[in-house]
Amino acid sequence: MNKTWLMLFILLIVNLPYGIVVAADNVPLSECNTLYFLNGIYIYDSHVSGVLGLETPGNILLIDGFNQTVEYMLPYNLTYSMTTNRFIFRIERNSSFQGFFISKITICSKPMNTAMDILIRSYRDPRYTPTKDATIPREISEEYIRKPYEKVVEVVVPEYESWFSNIYGFNVSHASMLGIATTASYFIQRIYINYSASGIPRSMDQVIEERIGDCDDMSKIVVELLNHYGIPAVIVYGYTRIEEFKLDFSIGNVTYKFINNGPHAFVMAYIPGLGWITLDWLAASFIANPFIVEAYTRETVFEREEIEELVDLHKAINATQIIAVFSEKELILNIGEPITIEKIKRYLDNLVEETIIMDEAKITVTETITETLTIRETSTITQTLTSIETHTTVTTTIVTKIDYNVTFIGGAVTLITGLVIGYGLYRRK
């Protein structure tokens, strides 16, 4: 995360005048960023046969939230499936594979300074509302408000309301819908749940009982909490763009390598007069950092059987997967100009070779630092991961079975990763 943005955010909390005005009409999606998404996989040995797919961010729209358009470029050894909207490939038992694709992604969201102003203003004064009309469109309430998870209502709601009244001196009932969304998300991400990465997704019961979780775990609790107050909410999965950020970790025999991005999940809530607003107090997605969307969903519950299947696949494939996010200037600097399949292959080969050398040298600990967004102080999360002793590795792999026997390996967004995101079963909108 950009330190300048982080310090600016903190200063604004203290110095922002109360006279700031946010238009009552839904804020237009006028801030657009164009990025290049590179996803490559090297499978050295497989103990399974079948069709696998790479996570493939595509055209996706959340009206009044964000709009993402994608142009796919230079696929290598992959086929684009119109059925699954992903690049797929076939792997045979006891064989190897190499494939990759690059795509040009333009993501438009509300202006980041406006998103930041909304968050700051409503945190400082939870009674603030951009409009007196609190009417939520019926189609949105029907789709994104459900009966909240019982344990969230029984355990988390009283804790949040007690904290709220102690901080602000009045009850939640006097807060606006925006104020509840902002303070509830802050409470879960910065007060109630202690950040702890996990390679295996946690249940909501476990998160509530132990009060630990990663961004995905926290997001599920936030969605359920907001629904209790009649606020529509979704979890957004994808990749937070962070310049010069690198992240390596392993799950089973798969190693993930992220360059200039980190896999992440956060919540967006629908507020009348604003549309969908970002509530990311961890990585400032759509607030200080651009974000590439993989999917969004209201779903917060996953099946244990699918998790076990994911774990088994990570043991059955020995591979390395690389996800890099570049600006146009960075793309040319790292790959060269003109961009060709041969140059991309050379770039990925070098990264994989570095991974193998590190593994053979038994360098098994990788330290990564993710700067966190806080309204009181600048803080960091440092996570140490120990690689499994395997000859090779694979980055970014999630497995999700589709109705016609295609298994997805790839896409840190919906995977059991633990560092910045947990696991998320989703459906594409």
Which pLDDT value is given to residue 179?
97
Task: Answer with the residue of higher pLDDT: 417 or 387.
Answer: 417
**Which residue's entry shows tokens 């970014």?**
396
Q: What is the domain range of residue 27?
A: 3-414
- pLDDT score at 307: 78
pLDDT for the residue numbered 392 = 27
Q: Is residue 135 situated within a structural domain?
A: yes
Which pLDDT does position 262 carry in this prediction?
92
**HEC states along the chain?**
CCHHHHHHHHHHHHHCCCCCCCCCCCCCCCEEEEEEEEEEEEEEEECCCEEEEECCCCCEEECCCEEEEEEEEEEECCEEECCCCEEEEEECCCCCEEEEEEEEEEEEECCHHHHHHHHHHHHHCCCCCCCCCCCCCHHHHHHHCCCCCHHHHHHHHHHHHHHHHHHHCCCHHHCCHHHHHHHHHHHHHHHHCEECCCCCCCCHHHHHHHCEECHHHHHHHHHHHHHHCCCCEEEEEEEEEEEEEEEEEEECCEEEEEEEEEEEEEEEEEECCCEEEECCCCCCECCCECEEEEEEECCCCCCHHHHHHHHHHHHHEEEEEEEEEECHHHHHHHHCCCCCHHHHHHHHHHHHHHHHHHHHCCCCEEEEEEEECCCCCCEEEEEEEECCCCCCCCCCCCCCECCCCEEECCCHHHCCCCCCCCCCCCCCC
Band the pLDDT of 9: cuts 50, 70, 90.
very low
Tokens of 400: 């999700």
Model pLDDT, residue 375: 31
How do residues 273-283 score in pLDDT, each as one tens digit?
999 999 999 99
pLDDT value at residue 372? 32
In a domain, 390, yes or no: yes
Q: How confident is the model at residue 358 (pLDDT cuts 50, 70, 90)?
A: low
Average pLDDT of 126-133? 87
Answer whether residue 31 is part of any domain.
Answer: yes
- Give the count of beta carbons closer than 10 Å to the beta carbon of residue 422: 28
pLDDT reported for residue 376: 31
**CA pair distance 66, 32, nearest whole angstrom:** 10
**Residue at 423 is within a domain:** no
Residue 404 has pLDDT above 90, yes or no: no
* pLDDT (0 to 100) of residue 150: 97
Check pLDDT > 50 for residue 423.
no
- Say what the pLDDT of residue 356 is: 64
Asked whether the CA dihedral 409, 410, 414, 415 is positive or negative, the reply is: positive
What is the rounded distance in angstroms from the CA atom of residue 421 to the CA atom of residue 416? 8
pLDDT reading at 295 higher than 80: yes
- Residue 248 is assigned to a structural domain of this protein: yes
pLDDT attached to residue 294? 95
Q: Would you say the pTM of this structure is higher than 0.75?
A: yes
Does residue 95 surpass a pLDDT of 50?
Answer: yes
On the question of pLDDT at 23 being above 60, the answer is: no
The predicted pLDDT at position 337 comes to: 92
Q: Is the predicted pLDDT of residue 142 greater than 80, yes or no? A: yes
- Please give the pLDDT value at position 109: 96
Lowest mean pLDDT among 9-18, 85-94, 306-315: 9-18
* Number of domains making up the chain: 1
Task: Give a yes or no: residue 159 inside a domain.
Answer: yes
Would residue 392 count as lying in a domain?
A: yes
Q: Tell me the average pLDDT across 336-350.
A: 95
Name which residue leads in pLDDT, 227 or 198: 227
Report residue 365's pLDDT band, with 50, 70 and 90 as the boundaries: very low
Q: Mind listing the pLDDT tens digit for each residue in 155-176?
A: 999 999 999 999 999 999 999 9
Question: Could you tell me if residue 420 is inside a domain?
Answer: no
pLDDT for the residue numbered 364: 37
pLDDT tens across 175-218, in order? 999 999 999 999 999 999 999 987 677 899 999 999 999 999 99
At 131 the pLDDT is 81
Q: How confident is the prediction for the chain on average, in pLDDT?
A: 80
Q: What are the tokens at 169?
A: 């001196």
Digit-coded pLDDT (tens) for 33-82:
999 999 999 999 999 999 999 999 999 999 999 999 999 999 999 999 99
Which of 61-65, 137-141, 415-419 has the weakest average pLDDT? 415-419
